[in-house]
Amino acid sequence: MATSILQANEKIYEVMKPGSVLKSIDWNQLASNNPLEDSLAIAKLCDNRSYLLGIFDGHGGPACARVLAKRLLSYIAASLPSQHVSSLLLEQMTPTTEFRPEIESLYAYEFNQYHASVSHLRDTLSNDESQSMDSTERALLTAFDAMDQQLSEEALAFLLGPEMSDILQRVPRWDWKPWWTDAFPSRDKVLQLSTLSTAMSGAVATVAHISSNNLVLANTGDCQAVVGYVSEDGTWGARKLGKEHTSENPAEVERLYSEHPRSERDTVLRMDRLLGQLMPLRAFGDFRFKWPRHVLEKWVTPILGESALPSNYKTPPYLSARPEIIKHTLSPRDKFVVIASDGLWDLLSPTQVVRLVGEHMSGRVALGPLTLPPGDVTLEEINKMLQQRREGLSKRPLDTNAATHLIRHALASTETGLDPDRLSELLSLPDDVVRLFRDDITIVVAYFDTDYLLKSLPQSSQE
């Protein structure tokens, strides 16, 4: 029963085409919230060698994360200068949410608008930013910024109607056209409620672009990515890419303080949360931390109530979706990358995750260090424990999927190995209780082709 629950959402994608840096991709999800608030998206670009891997951890409902999983990778693909105008910018391997026809039409219209003007958007980056970035970095940054802006303007358009033009305090950065046309009536209730639901929920996001021996990560919020590599002494090492955007990141806290008056230092961050409410300090959506106060008061609180306006809301925006960009050049020692929502990292450290995946690669069940039980222990009992440990190490993993393997160990690991009773208990908790013990967990494990990486080394390094 426990295994069938764990394996219900698992998938493995084997890369069959030669000349790719990836060998295979494992992924899985385990819900805590009902409905699941995490989403993921995995896609192959049209060059058949480059990949986009994205995880979106929603909060305040699943709406924003689902929209990002459906749309963001296409925006990134369109932002890459090598991509030609085409309706088939990429092959998406993961299923996406199917929205109502009105919403699907809106999203298609918006994407075409974006695609037609994306080269201009890349040019809007400051000179300092452009000069220090390559085309992939610019594409990720441009797409993240534009996606969040579109989520905002879609909601405002159907919330405010023709008054939107006077409300927006800046000119959109693409050839934006008003939606109060025959195709998209501005007071359409379906469109209004759907776009507002997406705008009022939120999501953090981590997207990796992997091509040749280059891994470029865009991170907004508190998902994490870790590269597992083999050290010179043959042990596993974990290389964490970037830092979470939370109150535990001093640089992020300082950035937040610098964007608001000193008089707000006691209120902008309270109880380690943005305005005392939001844990991540960067996120998509969550426009009640971004829109002008008078917009929230006049148009949002009549629909959603006074709670839509945070306390001490004085100098918005307080929140941004702009990602941190991290570049990593892959070497033959790099064996895989694990990208996961914080539901995994709450339970396992990066070092533990890499060790588990590494041992899973070798076909061994990872066991924790041998710890004797308290009290007097006989030699017979110690011998029995050692025998059990040897048997455990000789067995193949219970799961062929590495993401499932990680979820199993995150929930059931003890000092002496896996505890099936603990696993069953955690998987059988009722919906109103389970969130007290764990969060939604979404994991992608992508394995690198060592032979490919060896061939990509400079000639001098191979000699």
Dihedral angle computed from the Cα positions of residues 129, 134, 139 and 142, in that order, rounded to the nearest 10 degrees: 0
The token pair that represents 337 in the structure block: 């990358």
Answer yes or no: are the C-beta atoms of 283 and 321 closer than 8 Å: yes
Q: Where are the domains of the chain?
A: 1-452
| Tokens coding 136 | 């992939």
Q: Over the range 252-272, which residues count as b (16 or more CB within 10 Å of their CB) and which as e?
A: bbeebeeebeeebeeebbeee
Spatial distance between the Cα atoms of 238 and 352, rounded to a whole number of angstroms: 9
| Residue 228, helix vs strand vs coil | strand
Taking phi first (over 0 means left), then psi (-120 to 50 degrees means alpha), and beta for anything else, what does residue 60 get? Answer: left
Look up tokens 């940054």; give the residue. 141
Cα separation, 123 vs 188, whole angstroms? 34
SS3 for 75?
helix
Q: Which amino acid is at 97?
A: T
pTM of the model: 0.87
Rounded distance between C-alpha atoms, residue 294 and residue 303, angstroms: 14
pLDDT of residue 56: 98
How many residues are listed for the chain in this entry? 463
Per-residue pLDDT at 190 = 77
Cα(146)–Cα(72) distance, rounded to whole angstroms? 10
Q: What is the pLDDT of residue 91?
A: 82
CB of 79 closer than 8 Å to CB of 122:
yes
Question: From residue 174, how far is each of 82, 153, 388, 447 by CA, in Å?
Answer: 20, 12, 64, 38
pLDDT at position 176: 43
CA angle 191, 193, 196 (to 5 degrees): 100
Alpha-carbon gap, residue 253 to 270, rounded angstroms: 11
Q: Give the closest residue to 51 by CA, choosing from 195, 217, 169.
A: 217
**Which pLDDT score, from 0 to 100, does residue 18 have?**
84
Answer for the pair 304, 271: CB distance below 8 angstroms, yes or no.
no
The three-state (H, E, C) secondary structure of 89-101, written as one string: CEEECCCCCCCCH
DSSP code for 200: H
Return the H-helix or E-strand segment holding 408.
helix 402-412
- Residues of the chain predicted below pLDDT 70: 82-89, 119-132, 161-188, 364-371, 388-396, 458-463
The pLDDT score that the predictor gives to residue 262 is 97
Asked if the peptide bond before residue 35 counts as cis, ω within 30 degrees of 0, the response is: yes
440: which DSSP letter?
-
Please list the residues that pair with 284 across neighbouring strands.
203
Q: Where are the beta strands (DSSP E) in 231-309?
A: 236-240, 269-270, 273-274, 284-285
Three-state DSSP class for 456? coil
| pLDDT for res 392 | 53
| Topology, domain 1-452 | Phosphatase 2c; domain 1 (3.60.40)
For 125, the 3-state DSSP assignment is: coil
Please identify which residue in the block is written with the tokens 């000699």.
463
Query: Distance (Å, rounded) from C-alpha 303 to C-alpha 85?
Result: 40
